[in-house]
Structure formats: structure tokens, C-alpha cells
Amino acid sequence: MADLQMSFKNIMDDLEKNINNKEDLDYIKTQIYNISVLFIDELDKLANLNINKIDTLMAKYEDINERVENIEKTIKNIQKDIYIDDEYDFEIECPYCGYEFTVDFTDEVKKEINCPECKNLIELDWNEEQHDHCHGGCSGCHSNCNEENEYESDDIEDYDSNEDI
């Protein structure tokens, strides 16, 4: 920009040296100034147009980048579901403070874990076998302890007595 200003000043100085008529000199300087303003206005318009195009491209880039991140997350979740490795995520709710958190278990299954919020020790029950204190109605032991037997003792007696039929 400094070179442009220096060139403009050199042209004006040259005009002043070579044109003796003051009115002609003022007229030429005014016209050169007007032409310069026209060029600067056009350059500003072009610059603003380019800035608008760049802004539009940046907005599109950000949108595409966000979409790509969402696709990568989805692919990562699909890979996690398909290629099950020895890592398991479990959601746990602390019985002491109610804080919910996710734990990643790898090869070993832990029997207890500390709550990251209240630091209390939580005993983990994996329902591997029915507990002595189980009285039915639980949702996790998978031994159908809350279902009644298929045949009641009266039904068995009726079945035996109707054996001849």
C-alpha cells in the first residue's frame, strides 16, 4: 500500500512540474482523484463480495464438519456394537447420593466400586445366583421366583385320578 501511495504522489508532483496553467492543473488533479475514488469503490465492492463468499463457505464448512463429526460418532457406536471387545459400559446409580455414572469394565468384573460423587463404596450385585434372602418378586435374578409353579398340588391329584380316561 505504501508503494501505491508513493506512486500516486510522484504522479501528482510530475503533473505540477509539467503543467503551468493553474486551472488546468486543478482540473486534472480533480479528475485523477475522481478516477481513484471510482477504482477504490470497485475494489471495496470486490473485497466485500469475496468476504461474503468466504463467510458462506465457512458456514458450509462448519455445517459439513458438524455432520462429519455426527457420522463419525454413529460409526464409532456401530463399531462398538458390532465389534464387541472385552470392554463393557454399565450405568450405575449410587444408592447413597443418587448420582448416575457410567463405568467401563474390561476383562475383570468388579464386585465393588467407589461413587465418583460421594466416594461411598458401592457393592455390585451381578445376580449370578439366587440369594438366600430372595422371596420372589425381584426383577433381576432370572430364576422366575415370582412365577407360580405350572401345576399346583391339587392339579396333580386331579391328573392322577383321571388317568383312566
Asked if residues 112 and 121 have their Cβ atoms less than 8 Å apart, the reply is yes
Residue 96 has a pLDDT of 93
State the residue range of the domain holding 102. 86-129
Kindly give the residue spans of alpha helices, DSSP state H, lying in 84-152: none
Query: Do residues 140 and 130 touch, judged by C-beta distance below 8 A?
Result: no
Regions of the chain short of the pLDDT cut 70: 83-88, 105-109, 126, 128-165
> Are residues 8 and 56 both part of a single domain?
yes
Q: What is the structure's pLDDT at 76?
A: 87
Residue 115 lies in a domain: yes
139 part of a folded domain: no
Number of domains forming the structure of the chain: 2
| Same domain as 65, residue 29 | yes
Whether 27 is covered by a domain: the verdict is: yes
130 Cβ contact partners less than 8 Å away, ≥ 6 residues apart: 141, 143, 145
What pLDDT score was predicted for residue 138? Answer: 52
For residue 134, count other CB atoms closer than 10 A to its CB: 15
Distances (CA, A) of 61 to 55, 56, 68, 70, 162: 10, 9, 10, 14, 81
